[in-house]
Amino acid sequence: MRTFATWLFLLALVAVLRPAPAQAEVCQDGELVIRFAHVVAARGHPKGEMATALAARVNAEMDGKACMRVYPNSELFDDNAVMEALLMGEVQIAAPSLSKFEAYTLKYRLFDLPFLFEDMAAVNAFAYGSKGRELLRAMEDVGFVGLGYLFNGLKQFSATTPLLVPQDAQGLAFRVQPSAVAVAMIEALGGTARRLPFKDVFAALERGVVDGQENTWSNIYTQRFFQVQNGVSETNHQLLAYLALTSKEWLDGLEPAVRIQFLSIFSEVLDSFNARAEAINARSRQKIIEAGGTVRQLTPEERRAWVEAMKPVWDQFRDRIGQDMIDAALAANGAG
Ligand code: LMR
């Protein structure tokens, strides 16, 4: 039975998390229309907030030349359909997670290796380093240009039962992104992986289609996953970051001055949100606790057991990813 306080909290949460409508930016005749479609909440989320801030700057500084509209919450396309939409010119900017490009390249599997990066400082050092920049171009042959990595954070596991050691995940079904590494990771734990679109995860958890999930604090909070889970375990086991991308045809077709101005605004906004992603996730973690959600911290021994359980996954993907890439990512650890 829900108490009065719980109902009050739920009403407040609905008000805060209510899907923001697509920005009603009215584009003028002659302005270049730039559509940015994504799948997450417009507020309280590194990607959602970055997209909104980007649109505000483009609309202020490129007024008369360009006009940006943002479509959050999968309201225009999900991360699968958006790739085709980019090539068809129906949308110009997207930022799916690096786990979602398997149909186009397998190089981004690197980022999915469990416990590869110790923290976001390491992610930052790798992404902005030479190997990270090289990987931005991994899909140019299929018509996509990587504009930069957009960070979210490290992922945490949650389920309908407490997860403290890997054995706790045995026999449970987890939602994962469409990534072979994520599937292997769940199987290494003795669980079953279900690839589901992001927009279906809450309902799948609520109805018991899956028992658990893995995501960042900001997704777990803004999508309310914690409300239908026993607790969230602070495993920090895998990165969630995005490739902000566009189509090569669209970018090459822009007037040079417009392209230069847009790309310069884009990278400034991207960098500033990458610097804030950790703080946004820390706030979400805190909000989960304040909302009555359970956050379980692992002891060093418990954490080591998760690392050990998932380490064999690396060997399944090492050859395809390339030892040089893995070494470069590992070398970024300790950058903070
Ligand atoms: C997911 O599917 O869990 C994420 O890719 C969603 C997102 O964009 O953060």
Nearest CA to ligand 1 atom 2: 198
Domain count along the chain: 1
Does residue 137 fall inside a structural domain? yes
Quick: pLDDT tens for 85-107.
999 999 999 999 999 999 999 99
Tell me what pLDDT residue 19 has: 44
Does residue 92 fall inside a structural domain? no
Pocket probe for ligand 1: among 75, 98, 215, 243, the residue whose CB has the most ligand atoms within 8 Å is 215
How confident is the model over 128-155, as a mean pLDDT?
Answer: 98
Q: How far is the CA of 28 from the centre of ligand 1 (A)?
A: 33
Tell me what pLDDT residue 26 has: 79
Tell me what pLDDT residue 23 has: 47
How confident is the model over 32-55, as a mean pLDDT?
Answer: 98
List the structure tokens of 103: 């149909």
- Interhelix angle 312-321/180-188, rounded to 10 degrees, is 160
Does residue 181 fall inside a structural domain? yes
Regarding beta strands 239-247 and 156-159, do their DSSP bridges make them parallel or antiparallel, or are they unpaired? unpaired
Residue with structure tokens 């028992």? Answer: 211
Tell me what pLDDT residue 336 has: 60
Residue 198 alpha carbon, nearest atom of ligand 1:
2
State pTM to two decimals: 0.92
Q: How far is the CA of 199 from the centre of ligand 1 (A)?
A: 9
Percentage above 70 pLDDT, the chain: 92
| Dihedral angle of Cα 195, 234, 230, 20, to the nearest 10 degrees | -60
Domain that holds residue 124: 101-332
* pLDDT greater than 90 at residue 6: no
Quick: pLDDT tens for 70-80.
999 999 999 99
* pLDDT greater than 80 at residue 168: yes
How confident is the model over 173-195, as a mean pLDDT?
Answer: 98
Does residue 186 fall inside a structural domain? yes
What DSSP designation does 298 have? P
Provide the mean pLDDT of the chain.
Answer: 94
Tell me what pLDDT residue 16 has: 45
Q: What CATH number is given to the structural domain containing 233?
A: 3.40.190.170
Q: How far is the CA of 244 from the centre of ligand 1 (A)?
A: 13
Going by pLDDT thresholds of 50, 70 and 90, the confidence category of residue 44 is very high
Does residue 72 fall inside a structural domain? no
Tell me what pLDDT residue 205 has: 98
Q: How far is the CA of 255 from the centre of ligand 1 (A)?
A: 33
How confident is the model over 262-276, as a mean pLDDT?
Answer: 98
* pLDDT greater than 50 at residue 20: no
Does residue 192 fall inside a structural domain? yes
Tell me what pLDDT residue 261 has: 98
Tell me what pLDDT residue 244 has: 98
Going by pLDDT thresholds of 50, 70 and 90, the confidence category of residue 15 is very low
How confident is the model over 17-34, as a mean pLDDT?
Answer: 71
Tell me what pLDDT residue 334 has: 82
| Main-chain phi, psi angles of 254, to 5 degrees | -75, 150
Q: What is the DSSP string of 11-58?
A: HHHHHHHSPPPPP-PPPPTTPEEEEEE-SS-SSSSHHHHHHHHHHHHH
Let me know: does 150 contact 46? Beta carbons within 8 Å. Answer: yes
* pLDDT greater than 50 at residue 322: yes
Strand locations in 73-155 (E): 93-94, 144-154
How confident is the model over 205-218, as a mean pLDDT?
Answer: 98
Q: How far is the CA of 182 from the centre of ligand 1 (A)?
A: 13
- Tell me which residue of 286, 81, 280 sits closest to 199, measured CA to CA: 81
